[in-house]
């Protein structure tokens, strides 16, 4: 006779609903306490009756001087509160650059160029094919005209031409969408990591659009793919001290002078991932912009691990032994990125996570301190804090690793993977292509929260949290307008060329 089996309660009991009940109880604990107290006070007041309330009022001995003093204190503290309150920063709108189809770089073109340029280095061709097959990029990504030449012979003129093409196109689209006049721009921030000419790119924009002589302009370089969110942080700080102002941010990466032509594998990787792109963003602290603005900035959290030598050198521009300049990606990159992300989410977690998740995290942390490492660490469920995730499209491995670490579904990383497939790694502007994808799909509703996560050399991990100000209806104007119906597409683990 076989022994009776013990039922598997983990499958028979609806643990999902138990967790939902726990979350509802903890997140609304104040309401559960306050409602009975308020109800009891209300019932007590009703029991006093008219005469009882009149007697209570007379017993307070309130005179004119007391009323005036109380009013003065209320006005005083209200003024202090208003003066110390941070100004709300709105994202009015943004525009992404869409390269012309004439600059499209399909895999066949990449392989043909590689075979011609690496004719004397045949052992590198299988490596290039392997990386391309696993990159997650599609057939419609674009490279600037200078890199289409065989062999590439980029110069300063080519780089400036690319910068004007990308920056002016994005800027023109932003001005058209928002109705903003160039003379009305108060703050200008341009970030481009590897191309930093003199005069600066910000000066180039000032000259093109004849901006005011008292404009506050900034040019950020060398800060990697996370520079876009650094620009958001800088603009947010400036808008706190300059009332009734707006700020235009331009994020891009100029590729023409930065194509690596050597044979070091660690320095060849960026050639297969980076593609043309750029975005222009309009921020404002004006009360009049609150209705038309798309989003409201809630938090910006920046994490910098540059004090650690391994983190500092994991993305490093240098010359190879033959004198070719390129950006080297070390084998420690993913480990450093994971450690930097951990520090970043430790800071941002208390700002965004509901009380239920914070309590579970605290209990687990205390348990691990007492019982050492016998308890598994609890990974907070950030899906309770955000409806949408924009993870920097730095490469397929980066997106997959964050999806695993944050326990996200395929739907949550869809915008990142589709952006990588359609546009490639556009550096600091990739987050805006991802946000545009979510909008084009009609998924952005009023009140939705968005988490943008960017990584950059140094090593840095930066986060920005936005709250949708109004429901954004599809279809929308932008880089996805002519192809959104084709997405999402299936991206195989290995795309055989």
- Annotated active-site positions, please? 225, 304, 388, 392, 421, 425
Let me know if 477 is exposed, middle or buried by CB neighbors in 10 A (0-12, 13-18, 19+): middle
The token pair at 58 is 């007379």
Let me know if 86 is exposed, middle or buried by CB neighbors in 10 A (0-12, 13-18, 19+): exposed
What phi-psi label fits residue 345: left (phi over 0), alpha (psi between -120 and 50 degrees) or beta? alpha
The token pair at 219 is 């040019």
Residues paired with 274 in a beta bridge: 425
Measured between alpha carbons, how far is 270 from 278 in angstroms, rounded to an integer?
A: 17
> Which element (helix H / strand E) includes 467?
strand 460-468
β pairing state of 278-284 and 187-191: unpaired
**Virtual CA dihedral for 202, 206, 208, 212, nearest 10 degrees?**
170
Nearest Cα residue to 283 out of 201, 203, 180: 180
β pairing state of 449-456 and 388-391: parallel
- Tell me if 204 sits within 8 A of 163, measured CB to CB: yes
- In the DSSP assignment, the letter for residue 311 is H
DSSP-based three-state secondary structure for 426: coil
- In the DSSP assignment, the letter for residue 409 is -
> Which element (helix H / strand E) includes 299?
strand 295-304
Q: Tokens 């010359």 appear where? A: 319
């Amino acid at each position: 006779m076989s022994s009776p089996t013990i039922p598997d309660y983990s499958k028979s009991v609806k643990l999902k609903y138990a967790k939902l009940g726990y979350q509802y109880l903890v997140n609304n604990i104040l309401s559960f306490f306050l409602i009975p107290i308020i109800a009891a006070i209300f019932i007590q007041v009703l029991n006093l009756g008219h005469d009882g309330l009149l007697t209570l009022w007379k017993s307070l001995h309130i005179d004119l001087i007391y009323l005036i003093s109380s009013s003065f204190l209320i006005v005083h503290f209200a003024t202090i509160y208003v003066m110390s309150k941070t100004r709300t920063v709105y994202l009015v709108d943004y525009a992404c650059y869409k390269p012309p189809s004439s600059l499209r770089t399909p895999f066949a073109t990449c392989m043909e160029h590689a075979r011609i340029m690496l004719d004397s280095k045949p052992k590198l061709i299988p490596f290039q094919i392997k990386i391309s097959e696993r990159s997650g990029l599609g057939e419609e990504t674009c490279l600037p005209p200078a890199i289409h030449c065989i062999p590439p012979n980029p110069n300063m003129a080519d780089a400036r031409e690319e910068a004007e093409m990308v920056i002016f196109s994005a800027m023109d689209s932003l001005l058209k969408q928002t109705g903003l006049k160039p003379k009305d721009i108060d703050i200008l921030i341009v970030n481009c990591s590897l191309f930093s000419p003199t005069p600066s790119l910000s000066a180039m924009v000032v000259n093109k659009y004849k901006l005011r002589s008292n404009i506050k302009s900034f040019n950020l370089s060398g800060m990697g793919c996370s520079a876009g969110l650094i620009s958001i942080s800088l603009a947010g700080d400036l808008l706190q001290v300059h009332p009734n102002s707006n700020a235009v941010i331009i994020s891009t990466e100029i590729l023409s002078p930065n194509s690596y032509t050597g044979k070091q594998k660690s320095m060849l990787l960026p050639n297969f991932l980076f593609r043309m792109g750029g975005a222009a963003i309009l921020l404002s602290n004006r009360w009049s912009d609150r209705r038309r603005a798309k989003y409201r900035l809630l938090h910006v959290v920046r994490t910098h691990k540059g004090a650690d030598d391994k983190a500092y050198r994991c993305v490093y521009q240098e010359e190879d032994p033959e004198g070719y300049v390129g950006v080297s990606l070390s084998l420690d990159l993913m480990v450093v990125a994971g450690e930097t992300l951990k520090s970043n989410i430790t800071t941002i977690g208390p700002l965004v996570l509901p009380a239920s998740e914070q309590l579970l995290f605290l209990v687990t942390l205390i348990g691990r301190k007492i019982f050492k490492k016998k308890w598994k660490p609890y990974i907070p469920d950030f899906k309770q804090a955000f409806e949408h995730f924009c993870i920097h499209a730095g490469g397929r491995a980066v997106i997959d690793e964050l999806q695993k670490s944050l326990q996200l579904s395929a739907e949550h990383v869809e915008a990142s993977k589709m952006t990588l497939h359609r546009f490639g790694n556009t550096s600091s502007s990739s987050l805006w292509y991802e946000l545009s994808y979510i909008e084009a799909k009609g998924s952005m509703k009023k009140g939705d929260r968005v988490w943008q996560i960017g990584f950059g050399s140094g090593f840095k991990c930066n986060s920005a949290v936005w709250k949708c100000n109004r429901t954004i209806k599809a279809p929308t104007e932008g880089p996805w307008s002519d192809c959104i119906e084709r997405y999402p597409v299936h991206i195989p683990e290995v795309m055989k060329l």
